Amino acid sequence: MENRLYAEFYRWVDACVVDDVLYYHDRGVGVVSTLRAYDPNQKSWRVVKGVGELLARMICSDWSYTVRYGGNLALLFRRPGKIWCAEISLERRLGGEIWGKVEWCDPVLTGNFKVNVVVLLMGQIINGTRT
C-alpha cells in the first residue's frame, strides 16, 4: 500500500494547475512522451496538441517539472549538462481541445549539479517572479 501511495505521489509531484486545468508531462515508458491536461469540468484527460516538436527535444531528458508561469506553463527539463525551460502558452479551442504554443525554449542553467536542488530553486524562481 505504501509503495502504491508513493508511486501516485511521485507521478503528480511535477504537475501544476493553470486556469483550473491540471497539466503534467507524461514521460511514458518506451513511448513518445505527451503533455496531458485534466479538465475537472469535463472530467476527462486530453493530450495537449501543438507541442510535439518540444517533446521530441526532450527524448533524452530523465526528468521534467511543470510550473505555472503567469497564465502560461513552464516546462523544465534536463539534457546533458543543461537545464532547459520552455514557456508554453495555452489555448482552449472548440470541442475542448487544448493547444499549446512554445513561446521560447532555452537553456537556463549549465553545469554539473544535483537535480533535486535545482528543480526546487528553479520552481521558486519561476513562481516568485511571475504569478
Domain ranges of the chain: 2-129
Residue 8, exposed/middle/buried by CB under 10 A (0-12, 13-18, 19+)? exposed
- Note if the pTM is more than 0.85: no
Assess contact for 74 and 130: CB atoms under 8 A.
no
Going residue by residue through the chain (131 aa), what tens digit of pLDDT does each one get? 444 444 444 456 678 899 989 998 887 665 678 899 998 888 888 999 999 999 888 877 778 889 899 899 999 888 888 888 999 999 999 888 999 999 999 998 887 766 555 556 555 555 554 44
- Report which residue type is found at 16: C
Look at residues 112, 25, 7, 37 and name the one whose alpha carbon lies nearest to residue 65.
25
